[in-house]
Structure 1
Amino acid sequence: MTAAEPCPQTHEVAPMGIGWRHPHHAELLQRQPALDFIEVHSENFFAPGGAARAVLRQGREHYPVSLHGVGLSLGSACGIDNAHLDQLASLVVEIEPVRVSDHACFARGGLSSQPAQTVHASDLLPTPFTRAALDAMCANVQRVQDRLRRPIAVENLSAYVRWKDNELGEPEFLNGLAKRTGCQLLVDVNNIYVNALNDRLHGSAIDPLVQCRQWLDAIHPPAVAELHLAGHVDCGDIVIDDHGSRVVPEVWALYRHALACFGAVPTLIEWDTDVPDLQVLLDEAATAREHAGHTLDTVTA
């Protein structure tokens, strides 16, 4: 989107959700707070039957469920793991989620010493923003969508290394992925800010907030299906996206900018480490509602 293009206008209310983690399983089912959806990590519920799947079915009785994965390895040059995709497809059929998402990253690859052997890094590793990497990710995303018979949403990554041979900017890469595959984008606002802070620590002269607003302005609005908000930790020489604290004022400001650009997009509060009382997440979701209400009212005025 260029500076001359107006942001979309809407009178809708942005749906709000929280990440539903194990410490809050029982309390959320008991209290049933006013939320528009809940999100879980897909892989935690892959096992058929059992207590975990039963709890998820109970949650699905009260809320739409968004399935958010960390293991598809959409950017892997060695393709998608068949077993992983089969388990995800089975979960999707049973739960009928409102959205399915994963990350623009890779986690699987071959060993240089044993090219035929594929290993899993158990981490979200940044994909190079090259045309060849885009081709590989498009092929993988298309295969997943064909198997699930639905579009998926792909999330931008908090990355702690950069590839020297990048040919595209991250927004251009993600826009190209959405255009070629019909996938959606999950924009993690905190990840954008963490990357900008780390760029500043390593010599970037661009103000982090300016850099993030430029990033958001460059994303094609119709592709955006969900926004994520979370906390991070500044370790001095690096900033880590740890999902272990409240959303900071700068990320709230960027959230308002994202809403002005993308409209009433479903928004999730993520909290994965040092998980606090459920009420803290609900308070963060209420704060997000306030920001969204004010921003969208201003945009449509």
Structure 2
Amino acid sequence: MRRLGTGIGWRPEIADAVERMPGVEWVEVVAENICPGHLPEPLLRLRERGVTVIPHGVSLGLGGADRPDQDRLTALAERAEALGAPLVTEHIAFVRAGGALTASPHLEAGHLLPVPRTRDALDVLCENVRIAQEALPVPLALENIAALFSWPGEELTEGQFLAELVERTGVRLLIDVANLHTNHVNRGEDPAEALAALPLDALAYVHVAGGVERDGVWHDSHAHPVPRPVLDILTGLAARVTPPGVLLERDDDFPAPAALERELETIRGAVSRGSSLAGPLPAAPPAPAGATTPAPCAGPPSPAALTTTCAVGAAVADGTAAEVTAGAGAGAVDVLAAAGARQRLGVGQAAVLSALVAGTPVPEGFDRVRLGVQARALTAKRAGVVAKVAPELPVILGEGYREAFLAYARVRPMTGGYRRDALDFAGHLLKVGRPADARARRELRRWWLDRSGPAPRPRGLAARARVLLRRG
């Protein structure tokens, strides 16, 4: 993997500051927040200076039960090409569930949710990754995510899950050390054990971010300074391998540029300390008793190299053989998930997401308290993102925006994107005669009408008259 150095997540709110920051060698941009034909000027200027820009996707949902959406894959590929990126990154997560696979309503989480570390989930993820790899023009790296809850009946540790994913697909890893800390606090998982099990030769780069602890639960907020435990994990990682790149993520409550520069310097220091401690790597811990290991497949495999041996290793515990497309041509994805794995995974994910966003009963074996924490976090995230994509709504509704949106979200699950959610929220308020203030209600109605049609409404009486004449 090429050296990237020290970087920072590019956000519009800090675009000017990032452009002036000394020592920023690369940036990462949320892929869904840019348009290939209309890249922001500050981002273009960074590229002209030779700063590497990597698109970071958040909506593919490669850990979901459905195969990746081709339109989303095409959009991610277009952004990689527009930015001249050396790779693209995404997450090991599911972000939606339901639909035809489970004959249940389609639901969107609006955020990243953890996949169960089971054989079924791993088989499905491996196939989804191979589909994505075939569609993308550059290598793909996947990020471990932070989790507020655990799945019952997990069969693999995080390190084992990631190691087998790399072995079977050749995908690269984006290791988020803040997420390792989050899972240590919330799930009792040892970051050192996870690092020891990882194939660090597959490391693409590292994420570092801050968070906050509330009531014994760590929230990966990306809105707080990086704490010492996260820096210590980064040092431990750097003692094992020299990270090709390390990136600071900050998404909200942005401090002064000088504070961000100090954090970047602190991150460099943590990496330097780890490098000074580097020595022979200890062996990875042995697999737990009874664990099965699939037959190895060198990665990333070419279509011709994928064999029945690999597929047999991907068989699920119930003995159902994995499907193999014999003699598939170039560009085909040869190894498919085991029969029934997608449906089993889909049923479980739909039940969890429905409990989180639609108020259905918590599935058996889950921690009700933790799912409640996750549900509230999703609702708060949803309110915050809608306020960003439709900033007029908090202005029109004033201090009542958040309370009104949270009440709406508790009874209206998200079924589309955030812009659709903003429109649905405004339409819901208008249907129930809110806001109470007549002037605000008229302003909200104008906002909704301007955006709910195929094109903005014409402004002024003359323009509206011309439209009416054309219709006549």
TM-score range, shorter chain: 0.7 to 0.9
Q: Of residues 213, 227, 231 in structure 2, which corresponds to 1:248?
A: 227
Q: Does 1:291 align with 2:231?
A: no
> Which residue of structure 2 aligns with residue 23 of structure 1?
13
Percent identity for Structure 1 against Structure 2 = 33
Match for residue 189 of structure 1 among 160, 169, 177: 177
CA distance in 2, matches of 1:199, 1:128: 13
Instruction: Mark the CA change 1:226 to 1:59 in structure 2 (over 3 Å): closer, same or farther.
Output: same
Asked whether the equivalents of residues 6 and 247 of structure 2 are also in contact (C-alpha less than 8 Å), the reply is: yes
In the TM superposition, residue 154 of structure 1 has moved relative to its aligned partner by: 0.7
- For 2:36 and 2:145, the matched residues in 1 are separated by 29
Query: Is residue 73 from structure 1 mapped to residue 61 from structure 2 by the alignment?
Result: yes
Shift of 1:28: 2.7
When residues 229 and 32 of structure 1 are mapped into structure 2, their CA distance, relative to the original with a 3 A threshold, is: closer
Matches for 1:177-216 after TM superposition, within 5 Å: 177-200=165-188, 211-216=190-195
Q: One-letter code of the match for 2:103?
A: P
User: What is the alpha-carbon distance in structure 1 between the residues aligned to residue 7 and residue 196 of structure 2?
Assistant: 24
In the alignment, the residues of structure 2 paired with residue 148 and residue 197 of structure 1 have an alpha-carbon distance, to the nearest angstrom, of 35
Query: What CA distance in whole angstroms lies between the structure 1 residues aligned with 2:203 and 2:36?
Result: 31
Residues 65, 99 of structure 1: 8 Å contact kept: no
SS of structure 2 residue aligned to 1:275: coil
Amino acid at match of 2:187: D
Contact 1:13 1:293 in 2 (8 A): no
Please list every run of 5 or more consecutive structure 1 residues that lacks an aligned counterpart in the other structure: 1-11, 201-207
Q: Which of 217, 235, 255 is the aligned partner of 2:196? A: 217
Task: State how far apart, in whole Å, the 2-side matches of 1:15 and 1:49 are.
Answer: 28
Q: Which has the higher mean CA deviation after the structures are superposed, 117-126 or 285-294? A: 117-126
What is the Cα deviation at residue 13 of structure 1? Answer: 8.3
Residues 204-252 of structure 1: CA deviation (Å, up to 9, x unaligned): xxxx7xx111111111111111111111111114210001111111111
Which of 43, 46, 58 is matched with 1:59 structurally? 46
Please tell me the residue identity of whatever aligns with 1:15.
Answer: G
Distance in 2 (CA, whole Å) between partners of 1:120 and 1:225 is 29
Cα distance change of structure 1 residues 114 and 141 upon mapping to structure 2, 3 Å threshold: closer
User: What do the CA deviations read for 1:82-126 (whole angstroms, capped 9, x no partner)?
Assistant: 221111111111111133111100112224897286443211011
- What one-letter code is carried by the residue in structure 1 that aligns with 2:5? P
Number of the residue aligned with 2:244: 265
Deviation at 1:294, TM superposition (A): 3.0
- Alpha-carbon distance, 1:151 to partner: 2.1
Matches within 5 A, 1:145-160: 145-160=133-148
C-alpha change, 1:237 and 1:281, in structure 2 (3 Å) is same
Confirm or deny: 8 A CA contact 2:237 2:274 kept in the other structure: no
| TM-score (normalised: structure 1) | 0.85
Contact 2:87 2:138 in 1 (8 A): no
How many corresponding residue pairs? Answer: 278
* Equivalent residues of 2:210, 2:224 under 8 A apart: yes
Pairing 1:275–2:265 present: no
1:64-89 residue CA offsets vs partner (Å, 9 max, x unmatched): 01211111101111111222111111
Equivalent residue runs for 1:79-158 within 5 Å: 79-111=67-99, 115=103, 118-158=106-146
Are the aligned partners of 1:105 and 1:127 in contact in 2 as well (CA < 8 Å)? Answer: yes
| Alpha-carbon distance between aligned partners in 2 of 1:114 and 1:104, rounded to the nearest angstrom | 21
> Which residue does 2:392 correspond to in 1?
none
Moved more, 153-162 or 191-200: 191-200
1:254 Cα deviation after fit: 1.1
SS state at 1:27 partner: helix
Structure 1 residue 32 displacement after superposition: 5.1
- Classify the secondary structure of the residue corresponding to 1:299: coil
The alpha-carbon deviation at position 55 of structure 1 amounts to: 4.0
**Is 1:163 paired with 2:151?**
yes
Amino acid at match of 1:33: P
Q: Does 1:227 align with 2:206?
A: yes
Q: Partner amino acid for 2:176?
A: D
Once residues 300 and 159 of structure 1 are traced to their aligned partners in structure 2, the CA distance between those partners, rounded to angstroms, is 31
Distance in 2, matches of 1:138 and 1:56, equals: 33
Residues 172-203 of structure 1 show CA distances to partners (whole Å, capped at 9, x for unaligned) of: 11111111111101111111111111135xxx
Deviation readout 1:124-145 (Å, 9 max, x if unpaired): 0111111111111111111111
| Secondary structure in 1 matching 2:89 | strand
Q: Which amino acid in structure 2 is aligned with residue 160 of structure 1?
A: L
Letter in 1 for 2:214: C
Task: Measure, in 1, the Cα distance between the counterparts of 2:233 and 2:202.
Answer: 18
Contact 1:18 1:281 in 2 (8 A): no
Q: Highest Rg: 1 or 2?
A: 2
Change (3 A) 1:178 1:283: same
CA distance in 2, matches of 1:76, 1:136: 8
